[in-house]
Chains A and B, each alone.
Chain A
Amino acid sequence: MRFRVLAAGLTAGFLTLAAPAAEAFCGFYVGKADTSLFNEASQVVLVRDGERTVITMSNDYKGELTDFALVVPVPVVLQREQIHVGERKYVERLDAYSAPRLVEYFDEDPCAPPVARLEGAMPMASAPAGAPRDAVRRKSLGVTVEAEYTIGEYDIVLLSAKESSGLETWLRESGYKIPPRAAKALEPYIKQDMKFFVAKVNLKEHESQGFNYLRPLQMAYESKKFMLPIRLGMANAKGPQDLVIYAMTRQGRVESSNYRTVKIPSDMDIPVFVKNEFKQFYPALFEKAHVREEKRALFTEYVWDMGWCDPCAADPLSPQELRALGVFWLDEGNPTMGGGSQVVLTRLHARYDGEHFPEDLVFQVTSDRRNFQARYVLRHAFKGELSCEAGKQYLKALDKRHQQEAETLEKLTGWELGTITKKMGDDAPGKKAAGGKSPEPWYRRLWR
């Protein structure tokens, strides 16, 4: 009975779903042509220990909910208990915790005896990152519906297929308007005996949940394969897509084993005006690094052994938050102890396209537990009266420092040096003199 209701609902859904596909994540999003879908950055949380894997897929789908559909290759047929609809706030929390950040320091008065230094760490928001109609027909196409569930606001179908063209036909006949190159993209997954996780929004359920956005889908499974199927999403992508991966393991840092994984440039002094332009600064820096690495690398933005908090860039996630994100081993030792020390978080950022990423991302867990964070340092100059000798020395050094900061920023972002120094205002190199006045022109002393 339930199946029939579900099938009727799906058929109705498919009628509206018959629309061209748009941007994608690990799979396709399927939507209407006139719906502006903007999928700037997908976020995936990968929790892995041995072969046990929990994956959380958070998307920023902004189109009509009736048009939403997601196709993701998965290594095994998932039981109902293996699928869960998570909370978006935990992924946002993880994002804020691990995001590239600015750190501020304030110079001391060089003319005064040393006093306690004021420091402030300012985490910045992350940069824009980033039912079958007929059983007979289905059989003739070689498509098997392995399972169907309604979980939270999603209607989920798990499919296996024998041939990519059959699957493509099935999806098309079922109302999914999938991109033209889909069969080609689907084929390698079918040959690797992967299943297809197809999700769309159950509007009734969605309304009853009372959310105005889509919550992340979570899956828990065991598989030798530690990978993300990014190739499928490229079938209909118009340009490069950003993907932020939060990998959490017990052992150590995660890196790609089939793509170069490099650390994003970090720990550099940059001009203080960047504080107001961080949203331009970080994407520019990322783009520059991306191009320098031939557009073929993954960037490590953050690695932290969450048991260590000396120092901590931000409050580490609580055991409850970690559990909600899929960290399943926390209560194995001592349930009262959070077990933060058993989690190493790696934040990886990829900008991929079909040309430069010809195969799916494969990962390996390393034994590396060294912390790393993308941080950029703003040093505020001392603004008071500087009449003493030490003050003059300070100004000289300050000028040199500002020059260096401007050059660093130019190197990191590719911005014009002229524009940078203009934006630096009073901090611009060459503008400093004792007491903060403009320097004496060189010729004034010539004929004095």
Chain B
Amino acid sequence: MTLAAALPRDPRYLQIAFLSSFLVAGVGWLGFDVPVWQPPLIILTACVTQWAMTRLFRAPPVGYLSPLITSLGLSLLLRTDAFWVGPFAAAVAISSKFVLRVRGKHLFNPTNLGLVVAMLLTAHAWCSPSQWGHGGALLGWFAAFGLAVAHRSFRSDVSLAFLGAWVLLKAARIFYLGAPWASLQHQLSAGGLILFTFFMISDPKTTPDHRVGRVLYAVSVAGLAFFMLHGLWWQNALLWALCLVSPLTPLIDRVLPSGRFQWPGGGAPERNDACVSVSSQPA
């Protein structure tokens, strides 16, 4: 029996294991500025919102794995000095899956939208992208790639396309500026980048259906974020860029149609013709 066969079929279990380990490490050892009660509060709000929205919209129940992933992502990335901001972001994130839909697909990655809305609408939210430390980030990349290799369906062409474009752009900038190469390694040690690459932009429910579309999408996010960060000096550029590029997904889907993604064992299908598996997308 191979390692891949021993792993759960649904990659979301692995994602949850990864995210919760890093949350525990972050709160316990890495000094994340997150009070211990905040993640449970976010999880609770996300699950309640999922339940309420499922009933309200008479949607087929799809379980609580996705809200849990959204909650863990929010807990890892969102920083606030007010207790209600975490639950607010979680409620916005989950509701958006039911409210902001085009052709049976939700528009925004819930974690991304939760963060962006919390930062835009409240005066109490921010993100601290560089809080993992070198060691923590190294472990993070190692674990994320390890999971990707071990679990075929964990791998995502979106992650790889984005990461490739991002590293290329960063390397080109360093080459142009004549800055030390150590700064590339330093820039890759931001924990936020790992989460973004493997758990946010790769979200199969909000990325284009066609592989070419997905690569195009990933490269656009990288390009826009690079311009925002180094041209406009916006912090959290990755989050803003993803949020701005996301509404283009329906357009890309129209130009490059393909089969719709479905989580394995993740509840009732949303479209009858939706079968899985465009190549390396989680299947």
Residues of A whose CB lies within 8 Å of any CB of B are 164, 184, 187-188, 191-192, 224-226, 251-252, 255-263, 293-294, 296-297, 354-355, 358-359, 362, 364, 366-370
Tell me whether A257 and B235 are in contact (CB under 8 A). Answer: yes
Which of B4-12, B43-51, B177-185 participates in binding chain A? Answer: B177-185
| Complex-state Cα separation, A264 to B59, whole angstroms | 49
Give the A-B contact count at a CB cut-off of 8 A: 79
Q: Most chain-A Cβ atoms within 10 A of its Cβ — which of B81, B126, B131, B183?
A: B126
| Complex-state Cα separation, A354 to B179, whole angstroms | 12
CB-defined contacts of B135 to chain A, threshold 8 Å: 294
Partner of A188 from the list B122, B123, B179, B182 (CB cut-off 8 Å) is: B179
Query: 16 extra interchain contacts, Cβ-Cβ under 8 A, other than A188-B178, A188-B179, A261-B128?
Result: A188-B177, A191-B176, A191-B178, A224-B232, A224-B233, A257-B235, A260-B132, A263-B31, A354-B180, A358-B186, A359-B186, A364-B126, A366-B79, A366-B128, A368-B79, A368-B126
- The secondary structure that dominates the A interface is loop
Interface residues of B in 163-188 (CB under 8 A from A): 176-180, 182-183, 185-187
In the complex, whether B205 has a CB less than 8 A from a CB of chain A is no
Partner of B133 from the list A187, A191, A263, A297 (CB cut-off 8 Å) is: A297
Chain B contact residue count (CB 8 A cutoff) = 32
CB distance from A290 to the nearest CB of B (A): 13
Tell me whether B128 and A294 are in contact (CB under 8 A). Answer: no
CB distance from B109 to the nearest CB of A (A): 21
| Complex-state Cα separation, A258 to B182, whole angstroms | 13
CB distance from B58 to the nearest CB of A (A): 38
In the complex, whether B152 has a CB less than 8 A from a CB of chain A is no
Interface residues of B in 111-160 (CB under 8 A from A): 122-126, 128-135
Tell me whether A226 and B233 are in contact (CB under 8 A). Answer: yes
| Complex-state Cα separation, A187 to B177, whole angstroms | 7
Tell me whether A370 and B81 are in contact (CB under 8 A). Answer: yes
CB-defined contacts of A257 to chain B, threshold 8 Å: 128-130, 235
Tell me whether B235 and A359 are in contact (CB under 8 A). Answer: no
Tell me whether A164 and B233 are in contact (CB under 8 A). Answer: no
Tell me whether A256 and B130 are in contact (CB under 8 A). Answer: yes
CB-defined contacts of A255 to chain B, threshold 8 Å: 128
CB distance from A308 to the nearest CB of B (A): 14
CB distance from B227 to the nearest CB of A (A): 13
Q: B190-222 CB contact bits vs A (8 Å, 1 = yes)? A: 100000000000000000000000000000000
CB-defined contacts of B133 to chain A, threshold 8 Å: 260, 293-294, 296-297
CB distance from A231 to the nearest CB of B (A): 8
| Complex-state Cα separation, A252 to B33, whole angstroms | 15
| Complex-state Cα separation, A258 to B129, whole angstroms | 8
A-B contacts, 10 of them at CB < 8 A, read A224-B232, A224-B233, A255-B128, A257-B128, A257-B130, A261-B130, A359-B180, A367-B123, A368-B79, A369-B81
CB-defined contacts of A364 to chain B, threshold 8 Å: 126, 235
CB distance from A404 to the nearest CB of B (A): 21
A295: nearest residue on chain B (CB-CB)? Answer: B134
CB-defined contacts of B131 to chain A, threshold 8 Å: 260-261
A359: nearest residue on chain B (CB-CB)? Answer: B183
Tell me whether A366 and B177 are in contact (CB under 8 A). Answer: no
CB-defined contacts of A355 to chain B, threshold 8 Å: 182
| Complex-state Cα separation, A178 to B122, whole angstroms | 48
Tell me whether B179 and A359 are in contact (CB under 8 A). Answer: yes
| Complex-state Cα separation, A191 to B177, whole angstroms | 6
| Complex-state Cα separation, A293 to B180, whole angstroms | 22
CB-defined contacts of A263 to chain B, threshold 8 Å: 31, 33
| Complex-state Cα separation, A157 to B31, whole angstroms | 44
CB-defined contacts of B33 to chain A, threshold 8 Å: 263, 368
| Complex-state Cα separation, A283 to B123, whole angstroms | 36
| Complex-state Cα separation, A370 to B35, whole angstroms | 13
Tell me whether B235 and A187 are in contact (CB under 8 A). Answer: no
Given contacts A224-B233, A257-B235, A260-B133, whether A187 and B178 have CB atoms under 8 Å apart is yes
CB-defined contacts of A370 to chain B, threshold 8 Å: 81
CB distance from A294 to the nearest CB of B (A): 5
